[in-house]
Chain A
Amino acid sequence: AQSVTQLGSHVSVSEGALVLLRCNYSSSVPPYLFWYVQYPNQGLQLLLKYTSAATLVKGINGFEAEFKKSETSFHLTKPSAHMSDAAEYFCAVSHNAGNMLTFGGGTRLMVKP
Chain B
Amino acid sequence: DAGITQSPRHKVTETGTPVTLRCHQTENHRYMYWYRQDPGHGLRLIHYSYGVKDTDKGEVSDGYSVSRSKTEDFLLTLESATSSQTSVYFCAITEKQVPTDTQYFGPGTRLTVL
**Within 8 Å of chain A (Cβ to Cβ): is B62?**
no
Binds B, one of A11-19, A61-69, A74-82, A103-111: A103-111
Give the contacting residue for B107; candidates A42, A97, A104; CB below 8 A: A42
**Within 8 Å of chain A (Cβ to Cβ): is B64?**
no
Interface residues of B in 2-51 (CB under 8 A from A): 31, 40-45, 48
B residues contacting the other copy or chain, number (CB 8 A):
22
A residues contacting the other copy or chain, number (CB 8 A):
26
Chain B residues in 8 Å Cβ range of A42: 107-108
Measured CB to CB, the residues of A under 8 A from B are: 4, 6, 9, 32, 34, 36, 42-46, 49, 51-53, 90, 92, 97-101, 103-106
List 20 interface pairs A-B (beta carbons < 8 Å), by A numbering: A4-B42, A6-B42, A34-B103, A36-B105, A44-B43, A44-B90, A51-B100, A90-B43, A92-B42, A98-B95, A98-B97, A98-B102, A98-B103, A99-B31, A99-B94, A100-B45, A100-B48, A105-B40, A105-B42, A106-B42
Known contacts A101-B103, A103-B43, then 6 further A-B pairs from the complex at CB < 8 Å, ordered by chain A residue:
A6-B42, A36-B105, A42-B107, A43-B105, A98-B101, A105-B42
